[in-house]
Structure 1
């Protein structure tokens, strides 16, 4: 008996659907963090992101040596003029970048960004971008707002500029007069479980560089945590910097 053409077509279609191979999950690209969205914590377990604000400063080179000796990576959220002109720390900036640490933005002058207009926010970001291009040939794709201020025009403007916005989920409170021992308690309270922590620390304090950081390196080792950059802890290592080739202006003063 001859089957109607419509039945034959249906059978062929069903057979092709059944035979279609399942998609390979490893071929699906992971989507990185979205610009203009506040990120407080890592996206995977087993890691700890050491992140330092307000430099570069006199302790930057020493901090890089401490991290490098331990095989640890960190993220530096740097300003242009808060602790002197960034170009005065050119050697330390280049050293940190060459060692594989993540260089990120903390604005040019460290203002309360929520009080700024869109054009003022852009100026804060682009001035520092120019300095980074002159020093390391890269523009960062990550930033942490001073005072963690994301109000007003901050997030929409940073989104339009392609910046991934980082805050923290463990604050060392070194800025608030806490000793390294007291800061350590905040990490112990947060614990090593769950997705990794993004820390808030300041490389402008000798105690943070010389005491708290070595303690964190040891604490991470004891708890089988890998010390990584913020971008790495978000599975976005390739997205740490903006795409493209940038031409230095040759400027070396603020």
Structure 2
């Protein structure tokens, strides 16, 4: 999986997110780190969130592509470990099929966000097609929880100015990541753990997918190891507080 930000006109600027971190491109524009957004808001006098990530060493654990049949098992682990997560939910076969799981996520304090209806590359769609990928998921989540998401993650992390313009009108900020275990390509739990632990650091955003067989068994050891390093788990919005994610804008550690 790669994350890239493209200019209007679909010319790539390129940034590849690897298992152990991010290879950045100096020509990227319009991308803000959660830490920078947080610091700017703090300078303006905004209050800290429930965890002050300006002083605590925070990290956000995120999951894409659910909910799925295994998701309740993951929720049990997160509840036991007292870890809040951010879930970027997919629509087709997921939010439409497991509304009760979406409701449980919200009830247990997790942050819920949008990951499109069918995981299409949004940079290859026109504005109406982009809206068609976003709005049904917004409705499913609102029906289940009473709230519409304000965050989304573009499939493959691929976005551009045209996508951002549509998402701004829809009230959605774009959240990328700093480390992924590429768990969509392996069932090796030990490898997933190692990739996350090699790349995770303060103010990072970890990307996993709970529907793949090797992922959920890796979560308890990932949580304990990162806590042993002094990291505190927060949602993406908590990571950015007192900043409020701005619709259309792209955030990436």
TM-score normalised by length of structure 2? 0.72
User: Would you say the 8 A contact 2:197–2:226 is kept in 1?
Assistant: no
Residue 50 of structure 1 and its aligned partner are, at CA, apart by 0.7
Counterpart secondary structure, 1:65: helix
Asked if 1:150 is matched to 2:155, the reply is no
Match of 2:195 among 172, 186, 194: 186
After the TM superposition, which segments of 4 or more aligned residues of structure 1 sit over 3 Å from their partners? 42-45, 236-241
Q: Supply the distance in 2 between the matched residues of 1:169 and 1:238 (Cα, whole angstroms).
A: 20
Instruction: Select which of 55, 59, 76 maps to 1:65.
Output: 76
Post-superposition Cα deviations, 1:36-89, rounded to whole Å, max 9, x if no partner, equal: xxxxxx9876112110001110011111110010010001100111xx252321
1-structure distance, mates of 2:63, 2:107: 17
Q: Secondary structure at the match of 1:200?
A: strand
Equivalence map 1:33-182=2 (5 Å): 46-81=57-92, 84-151=93-160, 153-177=162-186, 179-182=188-191
In 1, are the aligned partners of 2:99 and 2:140 still within 8 Å (CA)? no
Residues 186 and 214 of structure 2 are in contact (CA less than 8 Å); yes or no, is this contact kept in structure 1?
no
Instruction: Report the TM-score, using the length of structure 1 for normalisation.
Output: 0.72
Number of aligned residue pairs: give it.
Answer: 203
Residue aligning to 2:220: 214
Higher alpha-carbon Rg: 1
Distance 1:118 1:158 in 2: 9
Q: 1:235 to 1:59 in 2, by over 3 A?
A: same
Partner of 2:208 in structure 1?
201
Counterpart contact for 2:46–2:243, Cα < 8 Å:
no
Deviations 1:108-129 (A, max 9, x none): 1111111110111112111111
Q: Tell me the equivalent position of 1:249.
A: none
Q: Write the deviation string for residues 8-46 of structure 1: whole angstroms up to 9, x where unpaired.
A: xxxxxxxxxxxxxxxxx89822699xxxxxxxxx98761
RMSD after superposition: 2.7
Structure 1 window deviating more from structure 2 (114-123 vs 232-241): it is: 232-241
**Structure 1: gaps spanning 5 or more residues:** 1-24, 33-41, 242-254
Instruction: Structure 2: state its 5+ residue gaps.
Output: 1-41, 248-253
CA contact (8 A) 1:44 1:234 kept: no
What SS does the corresponding residue of 1:50 show, helix, strand or coil?
strand
The structure that is strand-richer by fraction is: 2
Offset of residue 236 of structure 1: 5.3
Deviation at 1:196, TM superposition (A): 1.9
Contact 1:49 1:229 in 2 (8 A): yes
> SS of the residue aligned with 2:204?
strand
Cα displacement (A) at 1:133: 1.4
2:46 aligns to what? 29
